[in-house]
Homo-oligomer: A and B are copies of this chain.
Amino acid sequence: MKVRSSADLGAVIRDRRRQLKLDQAGFARKIGVSRQWVIEIERGHPRAELGLVLRALDALDLTLDATTDEARRQNSGGVDIDAIVAKAKRGGT
């Protein structure tokens, strides 16, 4: 998922934490912060510490990727399915 705001970050963390069936307290212990911190982060606190955020993502097996908009247009998200299919129907690869 794209992370453009601290609210996005909070959503990503909360969703993933629940996927892994961790409660806030266990999650907090795992990354060495207070449960308060988890609450604030998941709420989208914009002034949280970068380092703790990275620790949290790591604990959730989430990796952060920084890419330029152009680079992304060429790769992953922007595969031109229609063109591929059209060519495929014509017998191309």
Name A residues whose Cβ lies closer than 8 Å to a Cβ of B: 1-6, 9, 12, 16, 45-51, 53-54, 57-58, 61-69, 72, 75-77, 79, 81, 84-85, 88-89, 91, 93
Contact = CB atoms under 8 A, between A and B. Distances in A.
Copies of the protein in its oligomer? 2
Contacts of A75: 76-77
B69 A61 contact: yes
Nearest to A64: B3
A63 B3 CA distance: 7
A51 B44 CA distance: 10
A48 to B, nearest CB: 5
Given A2-B63, A4-B63, A46 B50 contact: yes
